[in-house]
Amino acid sequence: MTLQGKNALVTGGSRGIGRACAESLAAEGAHITVVDVLACDETVDAISAAGGTARQMHCDVSDEDSVLAVFEKHFAGSCQLDVLVHCAGVIHERALLDTPIGEFDRVIAINLRGTFLVGREALRCMSKTGSGCVILTASDMAYCGRETFSPYVASKHGVMGLVRSWAIEFAPSINVNALCPGPIDTVMLDAENMSPEWREKEMNIPLQRFGRPEEIAHMVTFLCGEGGAYITGQGIGVNGGSVMA
């Protein structure tokens, strides 16, 4: 197990990509702290049933006090945090002219402000121990525009800006990368709730299917292991060919 005894923090871990990443890291021997605005009982129970160790804590990543509370409770003493996988986020589809400022603010607060807050505190811990791996979640849309998704696209472009800046600032001891998933079969990307235009675009990819959360998790464990040792500052597309950057 490549992460035996390591400590990993996974946000957005109640379901979907976050849950898959938490379970995959635990299977590699990591001790998991999983946080979400939703209860993570199922994730923690699944990890425990498989012989791993996990704990959970409620956290609104867009709220600084909530983020600080997680780090104060779980990492303030030793600051021993080896891996951050930040998956918390929301998606938004609406024509620009129909988008109220409150919805724009919400998307940016969760997807970009939340990434900044969690990443800042994780890097504060890792910089004290001199090692670590940070994996943020961007999107295939971070490389292109998409009509009716401008707040979401802007937030994910911003995440890539953080990745590239932090990768330089904290090299060579800490690796910072982003995953750029394409359409993944999760509750957040529920085909039943997608507009016909959105659904058509998402299926118009070379592999002609939605990805699975486990396929994202496999890349996460790769980046956290020896295979990812020389990778930093990158946005890695796990997207079925939806974007070829």
216: containing domain: 7-237
The HSE-up count of residue 101 (CA atoms within 13 Å, CB side) is 0
Helix, strand, or coil here: 156? helix
CA dihedral 164, 165, 171, 176 (to 10 degrees): -50
Would residue 143 show up in a list of annotated catalytic residues for this protein?
Answer: no
Q: How many residues are there in the chain? A: 245
Q: Angle CA(123)–CA(22)–CA(119) in degrees, nearest 5?
A: 20
Distance of CA 7 to the CA centre of its chain: 16
**The two structure tokens encoding residue 149:** 């998704």
For residue 134, what is the DSSP state? Answer: E
pLDDT (mean) for 216-225: 96
**The two structure tokens encoding residue 159:** 């995440």
pLDDT-derived band at 198, boundaries 50, 70, 90: low
With respect to residue 244, please indicate whether it lies within any of the assigned structural domains: no
Please tell me whether the peptide bond between 172 and the residue prior to it is cis, using omega within 30 degrees of 0: yes
From the list 212, 219, 214, 221, the residue with the least C-alpha distance to 235 is 219
pLDDT of residue 105 exceeding 70, the answer is yes
Considering the chain, what is the average pLDDT of its residues? 93
CATH value at residue 109: 3.40.50.720
List, in sequence order, every beta strand (DSSP E) within 123-245: 132-137, 174-181, 235-238
With respect to residue 243, please indicate whether it lies within any of the assigned structural domains: no
Domain count, the chain: 1
| 223 CB-near residues (< 8 Å, 6+ apart) | 133, 135, 175, 177, 231, 236
With respect to residue 242, please indicate whether it lies within any of the assigned structural domains: no
User: Minimum mean pLDDT among 6-10, 36-40, 50-54, 182-186: which range?
Assistant: 182-186
For residue 109, what is the DSSP state? Answer: I
How far, in Å, CA of 150 to CA of 37, rounded? 24
With respect to residue 162, please indicate whether it lies within any of the assigned structural domains: yes
With respect to residue 1, please indicate whether it lies within any of the assigned structural domains: no
φ and ψ of 135, to 5 deg: -125, 115
The better pLDDT of the pair 240, 84 is held by 84
pLDDT at residue 32, as a whole number:
98
pLDDT of residue 13 exceeding 90, the answer is yes
With respect to residue 245, please indicate whether it lies within any of the assigned structural domains: no
Q: Which of 71, 149, 152, 166 is catalytic?
A: 152
With respect to residue 2, please indicate whether it lies within any of the assigned structural domains: no
How far, in Å, CA of 150 to CA of 144, rounded? 10
pLDDT of residue 192 exceeding 60, the answer is no
